[in-house]
Amino acid sequence: MTFPPLVAPGPVLPPERAARFARHLPLPGIGAEGQRRIASARVLVIGAGGLGAPVLQYLAAAGVGHITVMDDDRVERTNLQRQVLHGEADLGTPKAESARRAIAALDPQIHVTAHAERLRPDNALALFRAHDLVLDGADNFATRYLVNDAAELTGTPVVWGSILRFAGQLSVFWPGRGPMLRDLHPDIPDEDSIADCATGGVFGALCGVVGSAMAVEALKLICGVGEPLVGRLARYDALAGRWSELRFGIDPDRPAVADLQEVTLRCAVPSTGRPDDISAGEVAARLRSAEPGLVVVDVRTADEREAGSIEGSHHVPLDRVLAQGWSALVAVLGAEAHDGGDIVITCQGGIRSARAIDALAASAPSGTSLRNLAGGMSAYSG
């Protein structure tokens, strides 16, 4: 199914700009008018990471005139295997700012706004109303469902993608013209119910495949050319080298989104941590000083530990903790489990470690000090 162009054409391009996009001009459905639509488009990109990097590169190269990039993270060395907008010189820099600089280097005439913050219920609606189109490359359920609900409330179309390990998928959610994310997946999953890229890994070049396909869908919508992925979920298996497609429709029994209350309650980033949190800085300092009475237990998988772990930490996988409780730690720690010091539990981001503590607390001896490494290994190694 084809749709009318999303964006009205802007002014005629000056000769030097027309020359820059000369390979677009002969294309049916694009041409000079389509390029003027692209130049007038206002696009919001959520995430400047694995998917956001190729999305931003190709939207900028195509001449999208106004790009807003939103990401509250900073560039880490582990990002560079797939987040091709960033380099060694950008380590520690906010990803949104690093992306802004990269786009300016590619085409200084593109207007880029960088927001080094997270999309939130209190800023989402205004941002969506200010843009023609949103591309969602977020890496967490909170933001994905906030994007869906804000889009439904504002009528803003969304190009959505996700990746994990060797597989990726993408679709187009356009309120009033087709089904939305909640028609495909009605309920917000628990944040740690599915492995993320940090825990499950991701094949770096896969980001380029899916991110580039997202940029293609965005340009099709802007120009009104081709058949967008509305009501279709495109799935890519990198190991098989094969695309497949799932068609889905509007769920007539699903209540329409009326407000952002659910995502505010379920998915808002907490302003304070757990009462048993301990900072990465404190753990590092106590380990450097060889202070007695501090034990670190890593509940990640063996594969994750191969990529880096805290020196001297003990390995007790989460599934073992959940199955055996306190006895799982005793079997590994021995006498250290009973010396009365702090037992610091860590994972990659601080979510699985919190689950482990909740499971351990049910059977641990009274007075046991279980501490959650806030931010996990991502905070410790950052």
Task: Tell me the catalytic residues.
Answer: 197, 347
Cα torsion angle, 113, 52, 70, 95, sign: negative
Distances 95 to 69, 76, 161 between C-alpha atoms, Å? 9, 9, 19
- 132 Cβ contact partners less than 8 Å away, ≥ 6 residues apart: 6, 7, 41, 42, 43, 156, 222
State how far the Cα of 160 lies from the Cα of 181, in Å rounded to an integer. 9
Tell me the residue ranges of DSSP E strands in the chain.
42-46, 66-70, 111-115, 133-136, 158-164, 167-173, 232-237, 242-247, 277-278, 294-298, 314-315, 342-346, 369-373
State how far the Cα of 55 lies from the Cα of 48, in Å rounded to an integer. 9
Instruction: Let me know: does 274 contact 353? Beta carbons within 8 Å.
Output: no
State how far the Cα of 315 lies from the Cα of 214, in Å rounded to an integer. 39
- 348 Cβ contact partners less than 8 Å away, ≥ 6 residues apart: 198, 199, 300, 304, 376, 377, 378
State how far the Cα of 46 lies from the Cα of 95, in Å rounded to an integer. 11
Residue with tokens 């933001």: 143
Instruction: Let me know: does 370 contact 345? Beta carbons within 8 Å.
Output: yes
Q: What DSSP string describes 250-272?
A: --TTSPPP--SHHHHHHHPPPSS
State how far the Cα of 216 lies from the Cα of 159, in Å rounded to an integer. 10
State how far the Cα of 27 lies from the Cα of 220, in Å rounded to an integer. 12
Q: Which of 158, 49, 38, 163 is nearest to 99 (CA)?
A: 49
Distances 182 to 3, 179, 202, 257, 371 between C-alpha atoms, Å? 22, 8, 25, 9, 36
What's the alpha-carbon Rg for the chain, to the nearest Å? 23
DSSP 368: -
